[in-house]
A = this chain, B = another copy of it.
């Protein structure tokens, strides 16, 4: 492909469901989670996986900006003018991507805090998606092949398949996005060959701004995509909104590029159950924790240099970082968000 590729890593969130490992001053992407043999942060590992790109930008908020180079020394830091969810952040980073390389780039947008054990497969898929975005001028979403009927992910319903060289399917029309389903619908989606929406996208800036224009992000698209860009004014003119809701779900003719690398968003503590090896009783231990299980099964333990004893408990997440401890059933791990909301109210997050 003769167009340069720019990887945009989204590193502006906090990953509050991984409290107390994640805190207001220590977001999830700065943590080393999901791989006991890798003490690099999720952001560092993500940056390592952008070898497919000619340049890498890390989009983040002001308070995290200084620490980003420790994790991604070869990336350029892009500070969002304001924290307004992924929609404005991605439009702004895509705008900045045009300045990062010579030539008209293709942009690949990827979250900083996901778990992808096979970097080579990942990079090959990203390169393929970038080529599809360049060749078709469509918005491209990467769809991960589901390995279970997850209720915690959104799904992408694919349409007709296409191939660049007339052989294997390279990408498919994107028929529809589906919100996080209930258990019944999730099983149907998996059966029907839908994909997980991994929050990874590829496009040309021209395609993104074209599709964003008639959306809630229109004012920002207009402010960025002209001869005299004014990001501040553009951000002031839009409300917080996700890129999925604002643009992807209403885009005309979007495409989905299938990915079959192993992937997990590490969204909440129960994710460790999926990505770490369990002992004979089904307990997994992450971080720097040591655990002693006495008649305790199917628990998730995560901690910094802490020794955790579990006696007679089942199906719990027990997490200890700094001077904070959290206990929640695995099945309710998403509800850590509620605890964090309460902590935020009291300035304790």
Contacts and interface: CB of A to CB of B under 8 A. Distances in A.
A310 B327 contact: yes
Interface string A295-313: 1000000010111111111
Interface in A319-335: 320, 323-329, 332, 335
B327 A313 contact: yes
Contact of A339 (B294, B327, B336, B339): B294
Nearest to A334: B311
Task: Classify chain A: how many residues form its interface, as a range.
Answer: 20 to 34
A142 B329 CA distance: 44
Contact of A325 (B306, B312, B343): B306
B343 A292 contact: yes
Given A294-B339, A327-B327, A332 B311 contact: yes
28 contacts: A292-B339, A292-B342, A292-B343, A295-B338, A306-B323, A306-B325, A307-B323, A307-B325, A308-B325, A309-B327, A309-B328, A309-B343, A310-B327, A310-B328, A311-B326, A311-B327, A311-B329, A311-B336, A312-B328, A312-B329, A312-B335, A313-B327, A313-B328, A316-B327, A318-B325, A320-B320, A320-B325, A327-B327
Contacts of A320: 320, 325
A342 B307 contact: no
A92 interface: no
A174 to B, nearest CB: 36
B324 A306 contact: yes
A19 interface: yes
A121 to B, nearest CB: 35
Contacts of A339: 292, 294, 309, 311
A327 B309 CA distance: 6
A348 interface: yes
A20 interface: yes
